[in-house]
Amino acid sequence: MHPFNKYYLIWFFSLFITFSQAHAQENEITTPSAPTIAASAYLLEDFHTGKVLAESNADARLAPASLTKIMTVYVVFKELSNGHLHLDDTVTISEKAWKTSGSRMFLELGNQVKIVDLLHGVIIQSGNDASVALAEHVAGDETTFADMMNQHAARLGMNNSHFKNSDGLPNPDHYSSARDLAILTTALIKEFPEYYPWFSQKEFTYNKITQQNRNKLLSRDDSVDGVKTGFTDDAGYCLVASALREDMRLISVVMGTKSAIARANENQTLINFGFRFYESHRLYEGNKPLNEARIWKGANKTIPLGLTEDLYVTIPRRLYSDLKAVVNIDKKIIAPIAEHTKLGSVRVSLKDELIIEKDLVSLQSIDKGNMFQRVIDSALLMMEKSDNGK
């Protein structure tokens, strides 16, 4: 080989390798490591997608203290939505509720208190007495109410939670995890948007006693609008926080910190990290036509296709233009078709990496066509099959 050709070949391969490495680095998705959090367990996730942005020990079964009350009010909200309770219903305060130790709403024995006031007492004042009063009113006694809590936990997929009471006072068989509490908080916000604003209230007055919300982030960060604090000696200082900035909502759970200031600071650190380095986008709206497909032997010629719910993605910041969505539609869709039948998929990728796939479904039902329509379409299908076979 001529020396010049040999030199040229070496130069060409060196250039090729350099270009390939640069291209690979360009396509690589990198974000900074999550901050170090001084807590027994923590988790940060995007509300809409459930994407976990930071976590440590998130499935450990820990004492939840008053974070328990998120489930307590969730159960009551469910009963309200089912029509079994009404906000103006009154609850008679029992001796057990009146005597409950720990943080209190300062209920008086035998008084009649509206459910709406008791809920405020639980959410804002973290009243153990209010929690017990609600539990007894809903289920007859706290043991039965705890059974209801556990049934909802199982339904939501809270696999590392078990509840023995409504207030979170210590019990060896009473526990939850950072991941489970994020699951619960997400469900509460999604299912009960009409009640969720109560979690952002900074104070509540009952019986001429005004108490401040213990969630210090409500006063520190305008984007924070909930959720609940907790403390016992065995649980340490805990906080579930939620923040909303530019249509992106984050859920942050921190358990087992050393002080009330520490739980606020550690949650703030997680929230700032999430908003600084990630962004969330709604790509498609649920139950709205995204595409349409030809339907054979049906009363209609086409059928609208879409998603059963909004499709969100959570991605590192400044990579939105690198998203790619591909819609795949089944071939030869034959009537009848029921509403929400899977007829394809939507696949979203970021830099060639699949990040989410959702079913593409029929947005309406299509009945069989009449005899004439079925005969015509059968003939067309046979002709198409014959053409494809050539």
pLDDT one-digit tens code per residue, 267-313: 999 999 999 999 999 999 999 999 999 999 989 999 999 999 999 99
Signed CA dihedral, 72, 129, 218, 88: sign only: positive
Are 165 and 294 within one domain? no
Report pLDDT for 372: 81
In a domain, 5, yes or no: no
Which residues on neighbouring strands pair with residue 257, listed in sequence order? 237
Give the residue, 48 or 15, on which the prediction is more confident.
Answer: 48
Are 140 and 254 within one domain? yes
In a domain, 372, yes or no: yes
* pLDDT tens string 81-96: 999 999 999 999 999 9
Q: What is the CATH number of the domain that holds 172?
A: 3.40.710.10
- Domain membership of residue 125 as a residue range: 41-277
Instruction: Specify whether the backbone of 126 is left (phi greater than 0), alpha (psi in -120 to 50) or beta.
Output: left
Q: Which helix (H) or strand (E) holds 334?
A: strand 333-334
Report pLDDT for 15: 41
pTM, 2 dp: 0.88
Are 72 and 153 within one domain? yes
Choose one of 230, 248, 277: the last residue of a domain.
Answer: 277
Q: 358: closest CA among 313, 320, 311?
A: 311
CA–CA distance, 383 with 386 (Å, rounded to integer): 5
At residue 175 the predicted structure's pLDDT band, cuts being 50, 70 and 90, is very high
Are 303 and 196 within one domain? no
Are 200 and 291 within one domain? no
Are 76 and 201 within one domain? yes
Are 116 and 164 within one domain? yes
SS3 content of the chain, % helix, strand, coil (to 5): 35, 30, 35
Report pLDDT for 23: 45
In a domain, 4, yes or no: no
Instruction: Specify whether the backbone of 340 is left (phi greater than 0), alpha (psi in -120 to 50) or beta.
Output: left
Q: What is the CATH number of the domain that holds 374?
A: 2.60.410.10
Are 247 and 352 within one domain? no
Choose one of 251, 277, 303: the last residue of a domain.
Answer: 277
Mean of pLDDT values over 97-120: 97
In a domain, 95, yes or no: yes
In a domain, 15, yes or no: no
Q: Which residues contact 32 (CB under 8 A, 6 or more apart)?
A: 273, 277
Q: Indicate whether 127 pLDDT > 70.
A: yes
Are 297 and 260 within one domain? no
* pLDDT tens string 327-373: 999 999 999 999 999 999 999 999 989 999 999 999 999 999 888 88
Q: Which amino acid is at 28?
A: E
Report pLDDT for 377: 75
At residue 383 the predicted structure's pLDDT band, cuts being 50, 70 and 90, is confident
Catalytic site positions: 66, 69, 126
Q: What is the DSSP letter of 180?
A: H
In a domain, 267, yes or no: yes
Report pLDDT for 21: 44
In a domain, 69, yes or no: yes
Q: Indicate whether 14 pLDDT > 70.
A: no
In a domain, 1, yes or no: no
Mean of pLDDT values over 366-388: 80
Choose one of 252, 277, 302: the last residue of a domain.
Answer: 277
Mean of pLDDT values over 71-89: 98
CA–CA distance, 111 with 98 (Å, rounded to integer): 10
Q: Indicate whether 99 pLDDT > 70.
A: yes
At residue 28 the predicted structure's pLDDT band, cuts being 50, 70 and 90, is low
Q: Indicate whether 17 pLDDT > 70.
A: no
The owner of tokens 């008791």 is: 118
Structural domains counted in the chain:
2
Which residues on neighbouring strands pair with residue 293, listed in sequence order? 303
